[in-house]
């Protein structure tokens, strides 16, 4: 190993092709030539700085500037060492390779330095920034649309008839129209009839208070605080719901009434069509000619037909009071007829498991179970099977 070979060995070190034997020779040579050791150390630092240059994320400008200065100082230091100690120059080819490597480091460092400037950053990321800006504009437009258009009244509900005196919680543009988030209240001797666009009519009886809480092209919803409302569906172009403190009632070509009693019970009567009733833990449908009391958000009485027999009603009342035994259950089942099948369906859900088999048999005799519905599944109150049976019964009404 001679001083003339130091640059060739250093190049191999930068390329990571140096062998263990050559490293051992270097260590031996450094013991008596400190100048070569200083030159090789500068190459080691250069290699470390090259490995730590991040090609994707520009480092701070101050670090890059310092890196360029360090590289330039290493070149000067290397030249001084050669002049000082009269080191023999390496061949032209090796010298050119060294100069090329150092020039690449300078260029890379300067590129990273300039890429941290705002104008260079904008040129490199212009498309991404524009896409983000467009996405934000679309989101803002969506928020504005849903806030000011989608959730507002499609058109005011017109008051087409009234008796006595009524008033609004707040006066809007016209006393003849009912607007979103407005309450209308009737007194003891008054009533109001309101036309619901694309649906039908809503009638308020005396001592009634309601609020229009939602009205869009596809659905409308009112909240009943007290009193009684009647809904007459003339055309099914949107979904309509009445909510109370206990449940929500959604019509399907339905004429029905909902009454919120002072006792806290919600009473519903369905004249025609079918109605979906949603409580906190139950969702079920009822056909016309049925009525039901929703006691709380979690409980309700078994729905009954408006023309159910006295014997049948008396038996159900005993059941609701908890006075259930095989004698009372037999009385209920004996009095049941085809019009009572929906009551029996709810009786299955509410009865103790030991009584379910005879109730299932009686209901099956009045309305046979559809295909894919098994007695075992109904015994387990399988939700899919129970609803399949219920849908079949409603379709046959």
Q: How far apart are CA 270 and CA 277, in angstroms?
A: 11
Residue 208 falls in which region: left (phi positive, over 0), alpha (psi -120 to 50) or beta:
beta
Q: How far apart are CA 264 and CA 266, in angstroms?
A: 7
Q: Please identify which residue in the block is written with the tokens 């037999």.
A: 330
What does each of the 397 residues of the chain score in pLDDT, given as a tens digit? 666 676 677 677 666 777 877 777 777 777 777 777 777 777 677 666 656 554 444 444 444 445 445 545 544 445 444 444 444 444 555 566 667 766 665 555 555 444 444 555 555 566 777 777 788 888 777 766 555 444 444 577 999 999 998 998 876 666 788 888 999 999 999 999 999 888 889 999 999 999 999 998 888 999 999 999 999 987 777 889 999 999 999 987 789 999 999 999 999 999 998 999 999 989 999 999 999 999 999 999 999 999 999 999 999 999 998 888 899 999 999 999 999 999 999 999 999 999 999 999 999 999 999 998 999 999 999 999 999 999 999 988 7
How many Cα atoms within 13 Å fall on the side-chain side of residue 57? 3
Name the H helices within 146-224. Answer: none
**Rg of the chain, C-alpha, whole Å:** 43
Burial class, 209, CB count within 10 angstroms (exposed 0-12 / middle 13-18 / buried 19+): middle
Is 0.85 surpassed by the pTM of this model? no
């Amino acid at each position: 190993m001679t001083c003339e070979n130091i640059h060739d060995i250093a190049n191999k070190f930068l390329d990571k092709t140096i062998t263990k034997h050559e490293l051992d020779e270097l260590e031996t040579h450094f013991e008596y030539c400190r100048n070569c050791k200083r030159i090789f150390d500068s190459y080691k630092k250069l290699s470390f700085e090259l490995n730590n240059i991040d090609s994707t994320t520009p480092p701070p400008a101050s670090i890059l500037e310092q890196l360029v200065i360090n590289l330039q100082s290493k070149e000067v230091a290397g030249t001084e060492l050669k002049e000082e100690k009269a080191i023999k120059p390496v061949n032209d080819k090796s010298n050119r390779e060294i100069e090329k490597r150092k020039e690449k480091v300078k260029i890379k460092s300067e590129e990273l330095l300039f890429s941290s400037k705002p104008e260079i950053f904008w040129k490199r990321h212009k498309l991404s920034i524009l896409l983000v800006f467009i996405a934000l504009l679309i989101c803002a437009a969506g928020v504005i649309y849903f806030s000011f258009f989608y959730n507002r009244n499609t058109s005011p509900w017109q008051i087409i008839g009234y008796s006595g005196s009524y008033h609004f919680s707040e006066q809007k543009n016209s006393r003849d129209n009912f607007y979103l988030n407005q309450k209308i209240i009737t007194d003891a001797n008054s009533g109001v009839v309101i036309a619901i666009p694309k649906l039908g009519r809503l009638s308020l009886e005396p001592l009634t208070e309601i609020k229009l809480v939602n009205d869009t092209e596809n659905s409308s919803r009112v909240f009943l605080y007290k009193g009684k409302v009647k809904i007459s569906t003339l055309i099914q172009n949107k979904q309509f719901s009445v909510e109370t403190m206990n449940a929500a009632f959604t019509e399907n070509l339905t004429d029905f009434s909902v009454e919120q009693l002072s006792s806290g019970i919600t009473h519903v009567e369905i004249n025609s069509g079918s109605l979906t009733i949603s409580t906190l833990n139950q969702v079920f449908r009822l056909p016309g000619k049925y009525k039901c009391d929703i006691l709380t958000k979690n409980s309700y009485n078994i729905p009954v037909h408006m023309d159910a027999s006295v014997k049948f009603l008396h038996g159900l009342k005993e059941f609701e009071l908890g006075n259930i035994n095989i004698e009372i259950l037999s009385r209920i089942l004996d009095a049941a007829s085809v019009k009572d099948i929906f009551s029996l369906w709810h009786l299955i859900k509410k009865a103790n498991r030991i009584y379910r088999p005879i109730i299932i048999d009686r209901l099956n005799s009045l309305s046979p179970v559809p295909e894919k519905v098994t007695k075992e599944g109904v015994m387990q109150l399988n939700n899919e099977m129970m609803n399949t049976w219920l849908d079949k019964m409603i379709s046959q009404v």
